Structure 1
């Protein structure tokens, strides 16, 4: 069987998608490129929207942003089924009760943190929270490394160094900024908390929201290190598409 001229790939993966009670989808480089939803992803979500959750290492947007993008394509995935490393990092520091938080992030995430009651400071924090910050500067680096040297905790939204952008270009990610911090204060790595994939938190929250056990779900993503290894460690079957994999969303759609 072929799909739109595509070779007959993905038979086992199609069966897994059909049988799964929960479909966990990565965003950047998978569902969307530069926040533009890919046609194959749109088709798959349209067929299985009630079983879909998005789990993303994105730390510059909020669940409501992705829900709005999907809605523009007629796709109904509510924001309570979208789990993102940036928003979850802010939730984490709020739950931990930190009193002085240095947040290196996009301005949208700073506003979200303030709305969540997170006390943001410029200096002398008890925790440094690192996200993708397109306005990261030498001055920010200097303040952060000195805070870490002086004993502040370190919470990182994700450790990805890049993600795929438009025109097959690489977009620097949080992990690239993390490398700069750790180059200066290596000892900060020991107690570092990383929120995003391949850690279990996003997988755990998505499965809980869908009311499925890990073995009843599949994870569709493009990154073997985060989507693949993270899913396997949590007991979820991963399906890798794009990149080095010959599979595409179109191969996962039942005819």
Structure 2
């Protein structure tokens, strides 16, 4: 089956990180070449992640160790998107934050006051040290009227030992105790795609989202009005695609297969992409 990847010129590229560019601490085949091609041809791009634990500086160092060289300004996390969203909603408000440096730094840098009482928002992110005390405080604050925000709905995260409970799991616990569901900012909310595009001056009709998950990457790209590429080096097998009521624009084996299109898909070309 052949489908047009470029119904409009491609000016801007967004890509997920884990499962697309890296697996654990190793670069996936073609990832360094993909980033190098974007830089060589002057294509605006951002690397996206739902992980709110790390700052862009931390993530840049992780990518550099794997052989992928890019500036920290080219990394957009769910923590940054959440902080930007809150700043647009209620600038200078106070928030009780459960998370690590990636989230607390982002919230603080947007001018928020971090507090543990009389706050406007409870902001939940991912951490490897969830405590009963912090969860109990969040429940009391939400019951008292604080608005409940979470960085992303992922219920588990990867580790060398196997899956770990993530933001969505802890959010479900708080929801069960309060009856209040959080507003999730990260993927699959298309808000994260739009804030990313705004950051680099992109437009949905001339942008592409690359990911390894149908339920987050492809869905959020679709709902933001973007074309999407699913790569099969992460969470989704090709046989699982049919389970979803939507389709990516193209399916490729890995990011190495995207590299030629960075060069070929200029704003003046339209090519047909063979999915088989």
Deviations 1:11-45 (A, max 9, x none): 868x65xx632221101232223354323322222
Q: Which runs of 5+ in 1 are unaligned?
A: 1-9
Alignment of 1:84 with 2:74, yes or no, is no
Q: Distance in 1 between matches of 2:102 and 2:35?
A: 27
SS across alignment from 1:39: coil
Cα distance 1:29–1:179, how it changes in 2: closer, same or farther (>3 A)? farther
Q: Distance in 2 between matches of 1:213 and 1:93?
A: 22
Residue 5 of structure 1: aligned partner: none
Alignment of 1:228 with 2:218, yes or no, is yes
Residue 260 of structure 2: aligned partner: 254
1:244 to 233, 236, 239: 236
Q: Distance in 2 between matches of 1:161 and 1:65?
A: 23
Q: Which runs of 5+ in 2 are unaligned?
A: 239-252, 262-276
129-138 or 48-57, which moves further after superposition? 48-57
Residues 33 and 166, structure 1, Cα contact 8 Å, conserved in 2: no
2:94 to 86, 90, 100: 100
* TM-score normalised by the chain length of structure 2: 0.75
Q: CA deviation at 1:214?
A: 1.1
RMSD of Structure 2 on Structure 1 (CA): 2.7
Cα distance 1:101–1:211, how it changes in 2: closer, same or farther (>3 A)? closer
SS across alignment from 2:53: coil
State how 1:33-52 maps to structure 2 within 5 Å: 33-49=23-39, 50-51=42-43, 52=45
Q: Distance in 1 between matches of 2:21 and 2:215?
A: 17
Cα distance 1:239–1:166, how it changes in 2: closer, same or farther (>3 A)? farther
Q: Distance in 1 between matches of 2:3 and 2:259?
A: 12
* TM-score normalised by the chain length of structure 1: 0.81
Cα distance 1:141–1:210, how it changes in 2: closer, same or farther (>3 A)? closer
Q: Distance in 2 between matches of 1:102 and 1:117?
A: 14
SS across alignment from 1:254: helix
Residue 150 of structure 2: aligned partner: 156
Residues 129 and 155, structure 1, Cα contact 8 Å, conserved in 2: yes
Alignment of 1:134 with 2:128, yes or no, is yes
Q: CA deviation at 1:74?
A: 6.0
